[in-house]
Amino acid sequence: EARVLHLLGQVCGSLHEAHSAGLIHRDIKPGNLFLCERGGVPDTVKVLDFGLVGRASGTHGKAPAEAELPDTSRFLGTPLYMAPETIRQHGFGDARTDIYAVGAVGYMLLTGEPVFDGEDHTVIWQKHLTAAPVPPSMRATRNLSPEVERLILACLAKDPAERPQSVAELAAVLLAC
């Protein structure tokens, strides 16, 4: 658990730089987080693949509310880590969109399983829109602290207003855990 918190804190630091410039990553996932050793220090995270980066849709703008799946041929991102608001409206997003993905990565790191899975992208997207995640403690092979579980589930809130509102806020809570 401590290692996961350490890694996610570094992801938040990298995202803070991007968000400060008005950019969102839009594809935070394990495959875009490179663990390396830097100056003899292990577990240094490099956030890679800013190929889908985009301008924030507006600082804390209202997320689209409809629960229907739009035309999926234009999606950017990886279904296992996509925030509901990005599924509802292609291209929509702000810092909280990346925070959802950080929570999904944390969930995967803590449990070894994605938050939601399914036989195809549409099933996974529908679960991100409507299903409640199984609490990580019910899937993890090790005990998880209630604080960490609450934080991961807060990151995975369907409503962006219920998530941590910035990566700086998320990093502070990670550090407190």
Percent of the residues in the chain that have a pLDDT greater than 70, as a whole number: 83
Query: Any idea which residues carry the catalytic annotation?
Result: 27
What are the phi and psi torsion angles at 35 (to 5°)? -90, 130
Q: How far is CA 177 from CA 7, 10, 33, 144, 149, in A?
A: 13, 15, 22, 11, 10
Q: 45-59, 63-77, 133-147: lowest mean pLDDT where?
A: 63-77
Identity at 19, one-letter amino acid code: H
Question: pLDDT tens for residues 93-135?
Answer: 899 999 999 999 999 999 999 999 999 999 999 999 999 999 9
Question: pLDDT tens for residues 144-159?
Answer: 999 999 999 999 999 9
CB 93, CB 134: distance < 8 Å:
no
State residue 133's pLDDT score: 98
Strand-strand pairing, 33-38 and 54-55: unpaired
Computed over its alpha carbons, how large is the radius of gyration of the chain? 15
Q: Is the pLDDT of residue 30 over 50?
A: yes
Q: Is the pLDDT of residue 72 over 60?
A: no
Please state, rounded to an integer, the average pLDDT across all residues of the chain.
87
State residue 59's pLDDT score: 44
State residue 41's pLDDT score: 86
Q: 76: pLDDT confidence band, cut at 50, 70 and 90?
A: low
CA pair distance 65, 68, nearest whole angstrom: 9
Q: Is the pLDDT of residue 61 over 80?
A: no
Q: Is the pLDDT of residue 16 over 80?
A: yes
Q: 25: pLDDT confidence band, cut at 50, 70 and 90?
A: confident
Percent of the residues in the chain that have a pLDDT greater than 90, as a whole number: 70
Q: Is the pLDDT of residue 77 over 80?
A: no
